[in-house]
Amino acid sequence: MMMQHSLIFCASLVLVMITTSAQHSPAASPTIPKLPQSPLASPQGMNTVPLVPVSPIGAPTPATSKAPTIDIAQILSKAKRFSVLIRLLKTTQLINQLNSQLLTSGSGGLTIFSPPDSAFSKLKAGFLNSLNDRQKVELLQFHTLSSFLSISNFDTLTNPVQTQAGDDSKRLQLNVTTYGGSQVSMTTGAVNATITGTVYTDNKLAVYEVDKVLVPLDVVLPKPKAPAPSPSKGESPKTKSSADESGDSNKNSDDDGAVPVDASAGSMNFNSVHVTRMSFVVGFVLMVGSMI
């Protein structure tokens, strides 16, 4: 009996020692797998998440529908920061042309650089009101490329980039520079701007937000004056008047010995002497003839 109690006591003592040792020994820290870190975007980089999702505007339409429609003004309205741009597009009626171009078969799509209301507020007071209708259309077309351009394709552009405003490389120049694919800057010669994010993009239309209004030099610089026509070779730059031609004709008559029509005072005196002499000779001949 004593032997059993001894064994029970020893077993209990060993169990207590094992428990105490486990409590005082440091527990092994669990191994946490390291997750791959995503590269941080540049503080000046653009936001690639579209403000306006493709659906439902850009979603495929049912088979019963005639053709998919994309309303650029509606896209900008959903972004809730482009009210000035929307008003300009509607008052100039350029919005109808752009929407129609997206539906044209064979169209390469559109890329639109959209200044928000805060960008228009940075313009000089009264700038937009100082523009005529033609200049307003040109300003909007200067923000539009006649092809779809994804973010990854900006580095494929050739400067100066041709916009819908025209191909004048001096007055309508738009030069684009990319930095590592995270930043896109552009300059017009009058304004330096940066793309700050994506508003909307699908396979036909790309709308990017820019921090400034892209004002072209053609709007800022005065129109060059048309050069005066250069005179032909061998001609005097001064055009002869009818009076000058008459004077030249009289001068030629003087050289031939004829009496000029419009002569100077000296010429009139000289011709009067000739007339007097001729009259004297004629009178003398008639007097001699009468005597004979």
Q: State the pairing for strand pair 144-145/192-201.
A: unpaired
Cα 163 to chain center, whole Å? 6
pLDDT at site 70: 83
Distance (Å) of CA 33 to CA 29, 191, 241, 244, 259:
12, 49, 99, 102, 120
Average pLDDT over residues 18-40: 45
What phi and psi, each to the nearest 5 degrees, are found at residue 138? -65, -40
DSSP 93: T
Stated pTM of the model: 0.61
Predicted confidence (pLDDT) per residue in 45-85, tens digit:
567 788 888 765 444 444 444 555 789 999 999 999 999 99
Lay out the sheet containing 192-201: strands in order across.
144-145, 110-114, 205-210, 192-201, 183-187, 175-179
Which amino acid would we find at residue 31?
T
Predicted confidence (pLDDT) per residue in 199-216, tens digit:
999 989 999 999 999 999
- Taken in order of first residue, the domains within the chain and their CATH numbers are 72-219 (2.30.180.10)
Phi-psi region of 148 (alpha: psi -120 to 50; beta: other; left: phi over 0): beta
DSSP 163: B
